[in-house]
Structure 1
Amino acid sequence: MSTTQPAPQVQHRQFQAAEFRVTFPGLVRSEWIKFWSVRSVVVTMAVSFVAIVGIGVLTSLATRAAFSTPEGAQAMAAQGFDGVAASLTGAQMGTLIVAAVGVIVVAGEFSTGMIRTSVVTAPRRLGIIGAKAVVLAVNVTVVTAVAVLLAFLLGQAVLNTRDLGASLGDDGVVRALLGNVAMLVGVALAGLGVGALIRNAAGGICTVVAAIFVVPLLLMPIPESWGGDHIREFWFSNTVTNATLVSQSDSYLSAGTGFGVFVAWVVVLLGLGALALRNRDV
C-alpha cells in the first residue's frame, strides 16, 4: 500500500514596488542635464561669452583710437565719455543672445514633443518651469559674470594705455558690473517666460528682440504731455539702464528703483509663462 506524499509548500516571497516621488531637486538635475545636452544652447551660451568679451574689447580699442587726435578727444568728451560703459558694450548684444537661450530652453521642448514627457513626469507642471528657471539663472549668472569681468579688465587695460581706464575700486564700477550681470540674467528669465507663452522658438526670439530693441525706439516720439517720459522710463529694457552705468542719467529711473521695476517685469513674464504651461494643453 503506497501513501501519497503531500507536495512541499512553496513559499513565494512577496515583492513590494518601490515608491518613487518626483522632487524639485530631481527636476533640477534633469533640467541641468537637458540644458547642457542641447547643442544649440551650448553654442549660444558660448557665443554670448565671446560677444560680451569681444565687443567690449573692440569698443575699447575704438575708443582709444578716437582719443588719438584732439578733435576725437573733444568729441568723446562732449558725448560724456564712460570708459566702463565702453568695455561693457558687449553686454547689450549679450542680452539678445541670452534671451534666445531662455526661449530655446522651453520652446525647444514644444517643437520636439519632449514637453509631453516632462509633463507626464511632473503632472503639476509648475515644478518644470521652476527647475528650468533655476538652471537657466545659475548658468547664465556664472557664464556672464566671468565674461563681464573679463571684458572690463581687458577693456580697461586697453584704455589705460592712454590713462583713460577705471579700476574696480572706483565709485559705481562694481555696481555697474553687477547691474550688467543682473540685466543679462533677468532678460534670460524673461525669455523663458515668453518662450512658455508663445511655445515657438522663432516667434519667442522675435518677440524678445522687439521688446528690447524695437519698442524703445517706437516710444521715443511719444510727447511728454502724453506721459511719454514715464512710459519710456518704465518700459522693460529701459528700467535697468542706470543700474548698468557708472554715470547716472536723469532720463531713466534711479538704479535702485529701476532694478526693482525690472525684477517686477521678469516676475510677471515668468508668472504668465508658468500659468500658460499649467493651464494649456501640450
Structure 2
Amino acid sequence: MTAPRFRDLLAAEWIKLFSLRSTFWLIGLGTLAIVGFAAQSSLDTYRGWPDFTAMERARFNPLDETFSGLSASLLVIGAGSLGALTIVGEYATGLIRTTLTAVPARHRVVAAKLSVVAAVTLVTGALISAGTFGVSQAILSGRGVAVSLGDPGVLRVLAANALLAPVSALVGMGIGALVRHTAAAVVTVCAVLVIVPTFLRPTVHQWANDLYALVPLYVWRTCLGLPQVRDDPALPTVAGSWATFTLWPLAAALLTLIVIRRRDV
C-alpha cells in the first residue's frame, strides 16, 4: 500500500477543520467582533477628542484603538479553542481511529494538522490585524491623530497582533492533545493563555519578571503590542518577546506529536 502524499494529508485536514461548525463561528464571528470593537472604540475617541485634556492627547496611542487588550484576549481564546477542538473533536467522534488506520505514520498526521491550523489562523490573524488597523486609522484620521505603516513600531505591533492567533492555536492543539475533553481543554486554554497573564504585573523580584516574560499575552501587552517599548528592566525585551512567540508554538507542536504518538486512541 502506497503511503498517502503529504498534500493529500493537508487536504484531508483542511476538510476536517472546516467540517467543524465551530470553525466558521470562531473565525467568522470572531473576526467581525474584533474589527467591530476597533471601529466602535475609534468612533468613541473621534467623538470625544475635543474634550480630551492636553495630557490625555499627549499620552494618546492610536494603536490602542486598533487592538485593545480585550480584543487580544478574545483572539487568543478563539484561536486557542479552535486549535484544541481540532484535536479533541477528532478523538470525541472516533475519527482519529480511521485517520491513524489509514495513515499509521502518526508524525505525518500531526505535521499536516499543525500546518493547516497554523496557516488558517495566521491568515485569519493577519486579516484581523490589517482590518482593525485600517478601520481605526481611517476613523482617527478625521481628527488628524492616525498613524501610518511607516511610523516607528507600527509594523512590529501589527505583526505581533497577527501572530497571536497561530501561536495561541498551536498551544491550544497541545492542550487538546493532552486533555482530550472539550470543556476541560477550552477552560485550560483560557486559564493558561488569558486568565493567568491578566494577573501578572512587574515586581521587584526579577525571577518573577523573567517568569512573566515567558507568557505570550503578557509579552504582547507589555512589549510587542506597544509602538514605543518602555525602557524598564522589569519588562520583557523585544528580542525576548519574539523568542517567546517562537518557543511556545514549537513546544506545543512537540507536545502534540509526543502525546499522539505515545497514547492510544
The normalised TM-score by structure 2 is 0.90
Instruction: Please show how residues 16-27 of structure 1 align to structure 2 within 5 Å.
Output: 19-27=1-9
C-alpha distance after superposition, 1:94-153 (max 9, x if no partner): 121111111111111111111111111222212222111111111112222122111101
Q: 1:142 aligns with which of 123, 130, 135?
A: 123
Measure how far apart 1:76 and its partner are.
5.7
**2:27 aligned residue:** 45
1:107 lines up with 2:88 in the alignment = yes
C-alpha distance after superposition, 1:14-50 (max 9, x if no partner): xxxxx43223222111101111222111221112211
- Aligned sequence identity (%): 28
Q: How many residue pairs are counted as aligned between the two chains?
A: 260
Decide which structure has the larger Cα Rg and report it: 1
Structure 2 gap segments, 5+ residues each: none
**1:6 aligned residue:** none
8 Å CA contact 1:48, 1:94 repeated in 2:
yes
Where 1:123 maps in the other structure, the secondary structure is coil
Instruction: Please show how residues 1-282 of structure 1 align to structure 2 within 5 Å.
Output: 19-71=1-53, 74-75=55-56, 77=58, 80-89=59-68, 90-220=71-201, 223-225=203-205, 227-241=207-221, 242-249=223-230, 250=232, 251-282=234-265
8 Å CA contact 1:211, 1:237 repeated in 2:
no
Measure how far apart 1:227 and its partner are.
2.4
8 Å CA contact 1:83, 1:156 repeated in 2:
yes
Q: Give the distance between the partners of 2:149 and 2:206, measured in 1 at CA.
A: 41
Q: Give the distance between the partners of 2:137 and 2:102, measured in 1 at CA.
A: 49
Structure 1 gap segments, 5+ residues each: 1-18
8 Å CA contact 2:106, 2:260 repeated in 1:
yes
- Call closer, same or farther: CA 1:156–1:96 in 2, change over 3 Å: same
Where 1:164 maps in the other structure, the secondary structure is coil
Give the superposed CA RMSD.
2.0
- Call closer, same or farther: CA 1:219–1:145 in 2, change over 3 Å: closer
Residue 11 of structure 2 aligns with an amino acid whose one-letter code is R
Measure how far apart 1:86 and its partner are.
1.6
8 Å CA contact 2:75, 2:164 repeated in 1:
no
The structure richer in helix per residue is 2
**1:4 aligned residue:** none
8 Å CA contact 1:51, 1:94 repeated in 2:
no
Where 2:22 maps in the other structure, the secondary structure is helix
